[in-house]
Chains A and B, each alone.
Chain A
Amino acid sequence: MTVIINSKPAIKEVVADLESRSASETTGSSRIAHSIRKQGSYIWYILSSNSVSLIAFTLFILLVLLAILGPLIVPYNPLATSAVDALKSPSWSHWFGTDQLGRDVLSRVIIATRLDLLISVTAVAISFVFGSLIGAVAGYFGGWFDKVSGRFIDTIMAFPLFVLAMGIVAALGNTVENIVYATAIINLPFYARVARAEVNIRRDAGFVHAAKLSGNSDFRVLAFHIYPNTLPPMMVQASLNMGWAILNAAGLSFIGLGVRPPTAEWGIMVAEGANFIVSGEWWLAFFPGIALMLAVFTFNLLGDCLRDIVDPRQRT
């Protein structure tokens, strides 16, 4: 959601920010490498000076580790049912309790990390790539493509987004891929708009003229001189976006359009567990909910840190 909501002001923010910086931007790969080195030391500076950022990065690494090592460290088979162990509250043998089929909630929460990260990363990556591509071309060349893609993006945004996602998943079937596509489509407008604004504003910048005069084609100028400059602000939004991708999957699960059982996924676990809250089996929704919250939280904090790194002015 953050994506969509923030889009317009974010554009302005970014635009204003670029105006102030574009003067100092130059072209050429050596400068980019240099700036990466500079950014590297800057990242360390941010991390060491800001405890929140440190927490965010620690949590992020923890999530990645869980995703990689999950199957090795789970105490139980996350799919194995057991009639005797059904709906047991948290205990020493089952730290997070068991679900209505006697499956260990802890194991399911851990094993779900990989899928959830996969869903969010893929969904965001798709909308990032296609969105920025459409936006960059529209922003650089303008003309009919700009107009058509602009209306196309407006059309997506005019849809009630969650219902659009629902419709897509309902129409294509509730598989992981389709959930990813649906999430990617409803996120697309943001990236397209930001990319368009960013490219548009640099189109006539001095360094672009210089690149063109030295014989670069339009395509080269766009791909190697302008486009890289649009990446940082979009990276920020991407990290914020990832959390939302998981929430989106959770919402879809709540109305029965989540991933296919018996696959463990936080969203569907919260969605199904939520119905057990009133009858007292709080652990079913609580623990995956906490995991979900932690992941979204991590991504959001990470987004804030990235913003700090990209845009020092926001830190004051």
Chain B
Amino acid sequence: MMYPQSRVGTVVRRLGQALPVLFGVILATFVLTRALPGDPAAFFAGPAADEKSIAEIRKALGLDRPLPEQFLVYLRDLSRGELGTSISTGQPVSEELIRRLPASLELTFLALLISMIIAVPLGILAAINPGKLIDHICRILTTAGVSLPTFFTGLGLVFIFYYILGWAPAPLGRLDFAYLPPPHVTGFYLIDGAFAAEWDTVYAALSQLMLPCVTLALFTLAPIARMTRASMIQVLSSDFIRTARAAGLTNYTVLIKYAFRNALLPLVTTLGMVFSFTLGANVLVEKVFAWPGIGSYAVEALVVADYAAVQGFVLSMAIIFLILNLIIDILYTFIDPRIELGN
């Protein structure tokens, strides 16, 4: 792969590449939503509505116009920053997304953190002892984690830790009834709670987070552990490590300072991918834990052919994905010594 010489260059080039992708996403989403079988006008008209009132609503929603025209109207609204109003929740899409995104992000970040704390050491251990018992254990554990559908793991955990043992709090979303959300700063309850020094709330939010986080973490163990193992093995077999060992550096120094640092590069990429994937895969976990995130929002919207909501969701996810890739590219320049830091 080619890397430009300056970081600003990277950003500009990536942004340039992102624009056609963004347009592609907007167009594809538009076509996809229009292909959905549901009739939003009929849904919007509600029970007991007749053909006449449905036609009226279709007109009011602008759905009677030809598709290209609808697309232009949609583009115009987008350029004004309007994402429209969801017909199923009756709320502006942008408001909903802003409210729900932190819930999903908080869940995803924490899950990835847990996952990394377990998977990275596991991967390193497996890489140091390839073919040994620890390698097999690592392989079996991570593969088992990724072999089960997340909703199955989620319901299983609810059953064991909440229903049978009673250790986990009721799976009722982000906070128990007893607590009010902390004053809104970031939308992340853990962080907002800490800002407001409401430690009880932080604690309550954390306990609500645990089961869904573990569910997601189990699912993300495999790719992270696998990639750590693979890239560590590759690095460990390379010449400079042999040189370092030959030079008499301690095992620890070789492993962490030289090998791991070099193995980080593919790991960061993997993390980025896992992150964006997990954010999308939240869909199922959020449903089990009544989590008010964007995933469950998207599912509901899709099922009722709620155009504005689906489009808004996909668009925001695509933007997150593009930003994430940009960040990863920039991170590369920090991690990879071969990439110059600008002229």
Contact = CB atoms under 8 A, between A and B. Distances in A.
A and B: bona fide binding partners: yes
Interface of A: 1-2, 4-9, 12-13, 16, 50, 52, 151-152, 154-155, 157-164, 166-168, 170-173, 243, 247, 250-251, 254-256, 267, 270-271, 274-275, 277-278, 285, 289, 292-297, 300-301, 304, 313-316
A243 B152 contact: no
Contact of A1 (B277, B303, B322): B277
A152 B150 CA distance: 29
Interface in B267-316: 267, 269-270, 273-274, 276-277, 279-281, 283-284, 287, 295, 298-299, 302-303, 310, 313-314
B149 A271 contact: yes
Give 9 closest A-B pairs by Cβ, nearest first.
Answer: A160-B280, A9-B266, A155-B24, A296-B147, A171-B35, A293-B147, A158-B318, A8-B269, A5-B273
A313 B237 contact: yes
Given A255-B284, A278-B155, A158 B277 contact: no
A4 B149 CA distance: 17
Contacts, number: 194
A184 B215 CA distance: 26
Interface stretch (B186-194, B197-205, B220-228): B220-228
Given A251-B284, A278-B158, A293 B233 contact: no
Nearest to B310: A167
Contacts of B260: none
Contacts of B156: 277
B20 interface: yes
Interface string B123-149: 000000011000010010001101111
> Which of B29, B131, B151, B298 is most buried by chain A, counting CB atoms within 10 A of its CB?
B151
A7 B146 contact: no
Given A1-B277, A163-B302, A170-B303, A9 B270 contact: yes
A300 B143 CA distance: 7
Contacts of B170: none
Contacts of A157: 321
A316 B279 contact: no
A171 B21 contact: no
A229 B36 CA distance: 41
16 contacts: A5-B273, A8-B266, A151-B17, A158-B322, A160-B321, A162-B281, A163-B283, A170-B36, A171-B32, A172-B35, A254-B284, A285-B155, A293-B144, A293-B148, A301-B139, A313-B233
B317 interface: yes
Interface in B166-184: none
Given A13-B230, A297-B147, A2 B302 contact: no
Contacts of A155: 21, 24-25, 28
B303 A255 contact: yes
B277 A292 contact: no
A292 B149 contact: yes
Given A163-B283, A270-B149, A7 B28 contact: no
B151 A254 contact: yes
A294 to B, nearest CB: 8
A35 to B, nearest CB: 22
B273 A316 contact: no
B277 A9 contact: no
B94 interface: no
A216 B150 CA distance: 51
A50 B131 contact: yes
